[in-house]
A and B are shown apart, each in its own frame.
Chain A
Amino acid sequence: MKILMFGWEFPPHISGGLGTACYGLTKGLVKNNTEIMFVVPKAYGDEDTSTARFINASDVETIGTQTELEKLWGNISFIQIDSNLVPYVDEKEFNLCASIDKVEKREGIFRHKYSFTGKYGVNLMEEVARYALVAATIAKNNTFDVIHAHDWLTYAAGIMAKRVSNKPLVIHVHATEFDRTGENVNPNVFDIEKQGMEQADKVITVSNLTRNIVINKYGIDPEKVETVHNAVDFHGRENIEIKRNVGDKIITFLGRITYQKGPEYFIEAACKVMERCNNVRFVMAGSGDMMKKMVRRVAKLGMGTHFHFTGFLKGEEVQQMFALSDVYVMPSVSEPFGISPLEAMRSNIPVIISKQSGVSEVLKYAIKVDFWDVDAMADLMYGLVMYPSLSKFFVRNGQAEVNSLKWENAAAKIREIYNQVTNI
């Protein structure tokens, strides 16, 4: 079976959970006897091509380049499209960065063919539309059995591809506008999401939490929506040993400092713990639009000496941070899945996760708490730090649990969904 898949990033340019998920998923699907054509917008132009072979695809060359990663990817081929699409950016933010540095940099291959209102590229919605048109061309020139589109930026592409090819469309919801913004939804984004879900033959959600949002907020027929939990791939990842400089226990928040991740609840709970014990330090690792506000809050509570901000961590630094931590907390307000607690567990750290996260549906050996219940959160932090047997228990069982979450299993479920839609 051949799948035309629309994503927005692939290794090594992974900026968040979606790239990781797509990577694991495609690997799992290949094992399940599936061939994948992966289309990604190419935002940077510096993708690692050392392991890749360029294919000069006849018609696609005006649109982008097709890459095949021989060793790593087996029968997945890549089609890159030069585009400004960036994950985790909302429309406003996108306009901002697009106007600053992207416009002049971009060599528009599309300029000749698709020039929208004369000022293409500065408007995210136009990018989405442009991506969709490109998708139509790709769909026309390739053969495949199912179209699979990841998250809202690619839904329009999926719909176009479906129109051109008449093949079934599966859309994969990794997050919704409600997760990203709370109740302040951007109506344009909402419309695209809703349309994608309505046009799709099947909607895959990464958790039941997200499934409920899709059903209740977008009014999609429950019959059509299926949950396939994400998994995690630790292949080639080693835990790092680090010598500690301080004897204090370290409780860590690691993630984007944005509304969705609930950083303020972490701070309030930290404050409660700090009032009672002085051998605990807190770290907030990451960056985001709420960072300044959080720094001010910490200062106001007078916790500065024991509360540290690291800024954005990348690559190895993340591992180091885990190696230094005694407790990992993910207080997300709304987390469709949330892969980072799994990485923490893998690093032998007990985790506290919010009940409002998809990952809490698959974990037994994680402590779950309502994100708003800072009293409970503080109590759990204290318990994990003060009562060592609790930590030991999690370290012993967490590792095994995480290792049992395999992409092959998730991919098998998705393969099953492909079978369903092709039999329609």
Chain B
Amino acid sequence: MRTICLYFQIHQPFRLKKYRFFDIGKDHFYYDDFLNKSILRKVAEKCYLPANQLMLDLIKTYGKQFKIAYSLSGTVIEQFEQFIPEVIESFKKLAKTGCVEFLGETYSHSLASLQNSNEFEEQVKLHTNLIHKHFGQKPAVFRNTELIYSDDIGKRVASLGFKAMLTEGAKHVLGWRSPNFLYTNAVEPRLKILLKNFRMSDDIAFRFSDKNWDEFPLNAEKYVKWLNDIDGKDEIVNLFMDYETFGEHQSRETGIFEFLRELPNRIFLHSNFEFKTPSEVTEKHQPVSPIHVQYPISWADEERDLSAWLGNEMQDEAYSKIYKTGEKVLKTKNENLIKIWRSLQTSDHFYYMCTKWFSDGDVHIYFNPYDTPYEAFINYMNVISDFEILVDKALEDSKPAKKSATKSSIKKVKPKTEKTVAKKSAATAKKKSRK
């Protein structure tokens, strides 16, 4: 039997409110609670809740035959807790079926894996604990922010005890090879690598409702035919996508839920594929070879690199600024400040500053609360400027014989920091072309 591996990403950032420079030093609450709450509610209603219900139904119908995997960022879990706890409950139900695997990632959906500091390891551990607390599983397979991967990152992930990692089946890395096999990290062969079949994945995630697509409309029958058309020697088809595909990016009216409901049935009846979670894939299949990835790849855009988050002057300054602040932040040992700092690391903040899409901004406008990358940058920098003032103050207060003033000044921040903000996943910015 060949294998289909389904994994869905769930992430929302803590979106920042409009923060003017004259707020610096005065206003220490940075998030747009109203916006975050509205987005969370909307997406929960359209996607998370109905899609979870559908998955539960499928698992009830097919039992252990139907398997899926999720990765939830820490920031989205925090927001679920804060705004719509019933979503967490429905994920817990799914966890109890034993058919669902939860993957590990960085707590705040950050780019910390590109840093030399310990921050990456810290965030992974935090996330692992969070997942364990809610879903009773300790993640064994890792999925980095936006599927960012390189040999070095893989090595670090392996040292944290993960047995496998997911990433993009990027053409420029694979060359003639197929993504439909299990690979291993080039430095640490114990770490297995699962590669996304971006063509088959994006057929659902991006092209499903595209009327200009020559394969429109897509139905389960056609899709299973494509699966069967895949070279007989290929072993695994990894379908990785944003969970918001179901009901949000592809609205209910497009028939996406019917497609998903029908798909397993078709697969069982008309193909030799079976569903496995990423962990099961690594046990069932043998790796064919190591894969060398010297420079980081990701699942975003045509380039499949980091250019959606880093590269222009603004992104680079903002990015280096937030991590530079880190040393001071950690010195304060103030939990709230550290928490804010982590929320500011979320990759979406840098994604909004991207200037690549001036020409074809369609996909991006949808995910972006700012009109222009410049506003995103100025807003972020204003927030960081204020945050630095807070951090410096906290450090100063903690130096001499711990004055009581420290506590009070930081307390003010506390209720605010518990709130979080959400943004749409940057990963969804992939292009539409099927090739």
A residues with CB within 8 A of B: 272-273, 275-276, 364, 367-368, 375-376, 378-380, 382-383, 386-390, 392-393, 396-397
Contacts and interface: CB of A to CB of B under 8 A. Distances in A.
Nearest to A277: B21
A326 to B, nearest CB: 15
Contact of B378 (A273, A275, A276, A390): A390
Given A389-B314, A390-B314, A380 B22 contact: no
19 contacts: A276-B21, A375-B20, A376-B20, A378-B22, A379-B20, A380-B378, A383-B21, A386-B21, A386-B385, A387-B317, A389-B316, A389-B317, A389-B377, A390-B377, A392-B313, A393-B312, A393-B314, A393-B355, A397-B355
A328 B317 CA distance: 23
B383 to A, nearest CB: 12
- Which of B22, B24, B312 neighbours the largest number of chain A CB atoms within 10 Å of its CB? B22
B156 to A, nearest CB: 29
A146 to B, nearest CB: 35
A396 B382 contact: no
A368 B372 contact: yes
Contacts of A382: 21, 378
A383 B22 contact: no
A48 B21 CA distance: 51
B22 A272 contact: yes
A380 B314 CA distance: 14
Given A273-B21, A368-B372, 8 more contacts: A272-B22, A276-B21, A364-B358, A367-B372, A378-B20, A378-B21, A383-B381, A386-B21
B374 interface: yes
Contact of B24 (A276, A392, A396): A276
B358 A383 contact: no
Interface string B370-381: 011011011001
Nearest to A355: B371
B378 A383 contact: yes
B374 A379 contact: no
- Which of A367, A368, A382, A389 neighbours the largest number of chain B CB atoms within 10 Å of its CB? A389
A383 B374 CA distance: 9
- Which of A382, A392, A393 neighbours the largest number of chain B CB atoms within 10 Å of its CB? A393
Contacts of A364: 358
A353 to B, nearest CB: 12
A387 B22 contact: no
> Closest 4 A-B residue pairs measured CB to CB?
A383-B378, A389-B317, A389-B313, A382-B21
Nearest to A382: B21
Q: Is the interface of A mostly helix, strand, loop or mixed?
A: helix
A396 B313 contact: yes
B221 to A, nearest CB: 45
A388 B316 CA distance: 12
Contacts of B378: 379-380, 382-383, 387, 390
A390 B313 contact: yes
Contacts of B313: 389-390, 392-393, 396
B114 to A, nearest CB: 18
B413 to A, nearest CB: 21
Nearest to A396: B313
Nearest to A397: B355
A367 B374 contact: yes
A368 B372 CA distance: 9
A368 B377 CA distance: 14
A383 B372 contact: no
Contacts of B374: 367, 380, 383, 390
B358 to A, nearest CB: 5
A376 B24 CA distance: 14
Contact of A383 (B316, B355, B382): B382
Contacts of A275: 22
A376 B374 CA distance: 12
A386 B314 CA distance: 12
A223 to B, nearest CB: 28
A276 B317 contact: no
A387 B372 contact: no
Contacts of A397: 355
Contacts of A390: 313-314, 374, 377-378
A386 B21 CA distance: 10
A102 B316 CA distance: 61
- Which of B312, B314, B374, B375 neighbours the largest number of chain A CB atoms within 10 Å of its CB? B374
Interface in B359-373: 371-372
